[in-house]
Amino acid sequence: MKKMSSRERVLTAFQHREPDRVPIDYSSNPDIDRRLKEHYGLDPDDSEGLARQLGVDFRHVGAPYVGPRLHEQPEDADVRVSPDWGLRTRWMEHATGAYWEPWPGRIQEMDEETAAAYPMPSPDDYDYAAVMETCKRHKGYAVSAHAGFEVMNWTARHVGDEAMYVGLAMGDPGMLSFINRYVDIKFEVLKRTIETARGGLTFIRIGEDLGTQRGPRISMDMFRERIRPIHERFIKLAQENDLPVMIHSCGSCSWAFNEFIDMGITAVDTLQPEAANMEPAYLKREYGDSLAFHGCISTAGPIATGTPQDVVEDCKNTLQIMMPNGGYCFAPTHQLQDNTPTENAVAMYDTAQRFRLAVSVRATRFSESTVLSN
């Protein structure tokens, strides 16, 4: 098979056909990212160089905010407040590193008056010219733009989890008004981003964390009433521009996959294999004809706790299950965590770049088959 561009490789997988090799993606926390750059002799800020070293086929584009600061930055150096939306993060140290963790619950009472008065950015205050520049720079790669929110997580970051769940369940007018306000702005920003890209985008990303480790985070009724209509609006926008849609969802979320298919979603991201009903073989068997998959390499599995050989075997096993007849993109289930040994991350990406399916694997989608590794 001839060598494909990254864009061709990803679209081929999305179309449930086998590309020349598995499409590869990367995401990480700061310390393992730093260590990988050191391992490959790269400068600390050379993220593009690392992406190329790891064989990453995906790139992301977004219009940066260039408007006025709408929310005050506190003097506490360990707290950040985003200038446009007022989202708070706090610098959290842990045993193997540190990162900026969402710090929710800023709004105590969300009534309709509060929802109407909360400072939100104008779609005019984003630099759309930067979108075209980024698309040109990454020509040939699979470039995506993100809708920029998840209904539950985004709302909870402003009001806290309990208020978010109660507000959605009760149909609270203030909460729904707040959600509709930010969704309208996010929609317009994405619409202008697509227009400015002028064909430079490969697909659109949306997100909604729908699962815990054991099952659904909300009921199917709540999903259909509160969540699905919002995402369908963005899916329609993507379809009008001939762009596939990938949805990110953590935890045990296969309960919603038939809804995803009905909504017109092309691919699902994260796919935590340790969560209930998320094993690779189950997903491939039950949904592999209708959905493409992106993820499956658990950041809580051998990549963090095993040896490099354990990582190689885990990655090979996942690839053997997920790759036949296309429909799979290789990626960690979340950002690689800082407890990941450098040599394990190297083994993970080396395996993905070298792995090839045997002819016998292609013949039967779910057969027990051999693996060739070059």
Going residue by residue through the chain (374 aa), what tens digit of pLDDT does each one get? 799 999 999 999 999 999 999 999 999 999 999 999 999 999 999 999 999 999 999 999 999 999 999 999 999 999 999 999 999 999 999 888 888 999 887 798 999 999 999 999 999 999 999 999 999 999 999 999 999 999 999 999 999 999 999 999 999 999 999 999 999 999 999 999 999 999 999 999 999 999 999 999 999 999 999 999 999 999 999 999 999 999 999 999 999 999 999 999 999 999 999 999 999 999 999 999 999 999 999 999 999 999 999 999 999 999 999 999 999 999 999 999 999 999 999 999 999 999 988 754 554 443 333 333 43
Cα–Cα–Cα angle for 293, 299, 301, rounded to 5 degrees: 105
pLDDT of residue 374: 36
CATH number assigned to the domain comprising residue 298: 3.20.20.210
What is the reported pTM? 0.94
Q: What is the pLDDT of residue 369?
A: 35
What's the domain count of the chain? 1
**Model pLDDT, residue 108:** 86
Beta strands in the chain (DSSP E): 58-60, 79-81, 88-94, 97-102, 142-146, 203-207, 245-249, 267-270, 292-297, 328-332, 355-357, 371-373
Tell me what pLDDT residue 364 has: 43
Looking at the DSSP bridge assignments, the partners of residue 104 are none
pLDDT of residue 360: 47
How high is the pLDDT of residue 104?
80
Q: Does residue 135 fall inside a structural domain?
A: yes
CA distance 204 to 57: 15
Burial of 370 (0-12, 13-18, 19+ CB in 10 A): exposed
Q: Would residue 85 count as lying in a domain?
A: no
pLDDT value, residue 249? 98
- Domain of residue 152: give its range: 6-67+111-373
Residue 83 lies in a domain: no
Q: Residue 93: inside a domain, yes or no?
A: no
pLDDT of residue 96: 86
What residues have CB less than 8 Å from 181, skipping those under 6 apart? 115, 116, 118, 120
123 lies in a domain?
Answer: yes
For tokens 């449930």, the residue is 16
C-alpha separations of 88 from 102, 148, 200, 218, 234 in Å: 6, 16, 32, 25, 26
